[in-house]
Amino acid sequence: MSDDHDDSPIAAQVRDLEALLEAKGLIDPRELDQVLEAFAAKASPANGFRVVARAWVDEGFRERLLAGANDALPELGLSMGGGLQPQVLHVVENTEDVHNVIVCTLCSCYPLSLLGPSPTWYKSTAYRSAVVSRPREVLEQFGFDLPQDTQIRVWDANAESRYMVLPRRPDGTDELTEAELAALVTRNGLIGTAAV
Amino acid sequence: MSERYRTGDRVRTSTVDPDHHTRLPHYARGHVGTVVGHDGVHPLADLSAQGIQQRQQVYLVRFCARELFGHGDHSVTLSLWEDYLSHE
């Protein structure tokens, strides 16, 4: 029963459950709204862009980020907490030989605090099923042609961990500041459906 | 907590399609992969959905696309609880 996570029935179930918990006095709806609003206000892909830019300019940070992202994020005032439970983040690095792509084939697990709200296509059955079996074709649909000899690694966030891609720093950017570098990064680059 | 598998071990995933919640996707059932790391100790999702708390080691397991789908030259890495795996 791993494929019954379609968005609309789950959303309806969650609404019903929330209403029931409120009716029984087990949760305070204002408290729940406050938690969700506070989390949503801080959840932005700009956070992910800053992480990438810092990793590009600071080799020590890059190493700490890849070794254990949860311990490195506080250096930028960020964390994987803030939701209802803290989550483990794995940052996976693109290289000349390896390109990484993230997906959650079971539902739509995604590091919201660093990437912001997930795009609709990320939650679609089409993306979730195609990217694990034919990632090169999916990337082509995004207008992203990888060299044939680049190895593709797909990461399925099917359990408790979340993933973010560290894209390769574009050529010809040696003179740019950290803020200018951050402005080059896109949300799709953090998912792996774009080069940067 | 003791770890049954080590990095580099070849493991096979369960073929069972349970009638309860699970986090082992269909496409990864009954296939052989390689443990590439440990991914913490977490409550087994299958039991949590039944109201039972049992923490268990989770492994990062990498599969070749050809093993999973019969085609492709990429890899797919999943996080799998110890109960989903057996030694190959």
Which of A2, A154, A161 faces B76 most closely, judged by CB atoms? A154
Q: What is the pLDDT of residue A4?
A: 45
Q: Which chain A residues contact residue B78 at CB under 8 A?
A: 156, 158-159
Q: What is the pLDDT of residue B79?
A: 97
Structural domains in chain A plus CATH codes: 1-42 (no CATH), 43-191 (3.90.330.10)
| A20 Cβ contact list (under 8 Å, min separation 6) | none
Min Cα–Cα distance to chain B from A109, Å? 12
Q: What is the pLDDT of residue A70?
A: 94
Residue A192 CA to residue B77 CA, distance in Å, equals: 15
Q: Which chain B residues contact residue A159 at CB under 8 A?
A: 23, 39, 42, 45, 58, 78-81
| Stretches in chain B below the pLDDT threshold 70 | 1-2
* Residue A85 banded pLDDT, cuts 50, 70, 90: low
What whole-number percentage of chain A has pLDDT above 90? 67
Give me the interface pTM, i.e. the ipTM: 0.96
Q: Which chain A residues contact residue B81 at CB under 8 A?
A: 159
* Residue A84 banded pLDDT, cuts 50, 70, 90: low
In order of A29, A38, A62, A117, B24, the CA distances from A35 in angstroms are 10, 5, 31, 16, 30
Token pair belonging to A20: 């029931």
Token pair belonging to A51: 């992480």
Contact A160 B18 (CB under 8 A): no
Query: Could you report the per-residue pLDDT of A176-188, keeping only the tens digit for each?
Result: 999 999 999 999 9
Structural domains in chain B plus CATH codes: 10-87 (2.30.30.50)
Residue that wins the pLDDT comparison between A99 and A32: A99
Query: Could you report the per-residue pLDDT of A7-52, keeping only the tens digit for each?
Result: 567 778 888 888 888 888 888 888 888 877 777 778 899 999 999 9
**Beta pairing class for A151-156 and A98-103:** parallel
Q: What is the pLDDT of residue A27?
A: 83
Q: What is the pLDDT of residue B25?
A: 96
Query: Could you report the per-residue pLDDT of A61-82, keeping only the tens digit for each?
Result: 999 999 999 999 999 999 887 6
In order of A21, B7, B23, the CA distances from B19 in angstroms are 26, 31, 12
Q: Where are the alpha helices (DSSP H) in A109-186?
A: 112-115, 120-123, 125-133, 135-141, 178-182
> Residue B40 — left, alpha, or beta (φ > 0 → left; ψ -120 to 50 → alpha)?
left
> Residue A5 corresponds to which amino acid?
H
Q: Report whether pLDDT(A163) > 90.
A: yes
Active-site residue numbers of A? Answer: 104, 107-109
Residue A181 · residue A57 · CB < 8 Å: yes
Q: What is the pLDDT of residue A107?
A: 84
